[in-house]
Amino acid sequence: MSTSAEIAKLIDHTLLKPEATRADVEALIQEAAELGTYSVCVSPSMLPITVPEGLKVAVVCGFPSGKHISSVKAAEAAAAVESGADEIDMVIDVGAAKEKRFADVEADIAAVRAAAPAPTVLKVIIESAALEDDEIVGVCQASVSAGADFVKTSTGFHPAGGASVHAVELMRQTVGPDLGVKASGGVRTMEQAEQMVAAGATRLGVSGSRALLGGASGSTPGSGY
């Protein structure tokens, strides 16, 4: 079993609800520092923010639909990095994946990668609950080819659902040991977190981090995670 501190170091402490305020983000940052999470994950309009040393800043891109054109996603990612983002969590065009247009998915990811080159960490949200297994494999392969650093299960906003152990296992199997796998969407308990890590996740997207790690407060409704 993992300790709370070990799991905390894998968590992107997340606040993406549309009505979030700057005060809410300040509270998120304070809570992340108290809990020892890896990062905070926020919407791009919330930047710039000031975080304690050691706490990373992740920002979503093309969120939550992924239906933005690639040049818009690229511009959004570049602006976020310029405003202090360490990591970009971009959403693919899920419809392109459903149509098995994996070359288009790869080009979309590559455009964001070019706009936010290393050392910025690029995570690719594939919305795994909306995809069949062969589609998950295809978009994960496209992510590898486009130079992404992580593949990520979900936005947490899709009606099909969030992370599953099966999806994480398949994603890990597809990308191999060199890419990260982030499980997000519906990871609310320590048991679920440990299951995702055992399946191959190396990062967790969580809004209710205090509750998961054993505190009193729960996740924020509409947070997307």
Give residue-wise pLDDT tens across range 31-54: 999 999 999 999 999 999 999 999
Among this protein's residues, is 152 annotated catalytic?
Answer: yes
Helix (H) or strand (E) holding 193: helix 190-199
CA distance 139 to 59: 21
Among this protein's residues, is 89 annotated catalytic?
Answer: yes
Active-site residue, selected from the candidate residues 73, 108, 149, 152: 152
Instruction: Tell me whether strands 39-42 and 203-206 are parallel, antiparallel or unpaired.
Output: unpaired
* CATH architecture of the region 55-202: Alpha-Beta Barrel (3.20)
Domain ranges of the chain: 55-202
> Which pLDDT value is given to residue 225?
67
Active-site residue, selected from the candidate residues 12, 93, 123, 182: 182
**DSSP state letters, 11-34:** EEEE---TT--HHHHHHHHHHHHH
Active-site residue, selected from the candidate residues 89, 93, 108, 149: 89
Among this protein's residues, is 100 annotated catalytic?
Answer: no
Q: Which residues of the chain have pLDDT under 70?
A: 215-225
Torsion over CA of 54, 56, 57 and 62, rounded to 10 degrees?
170
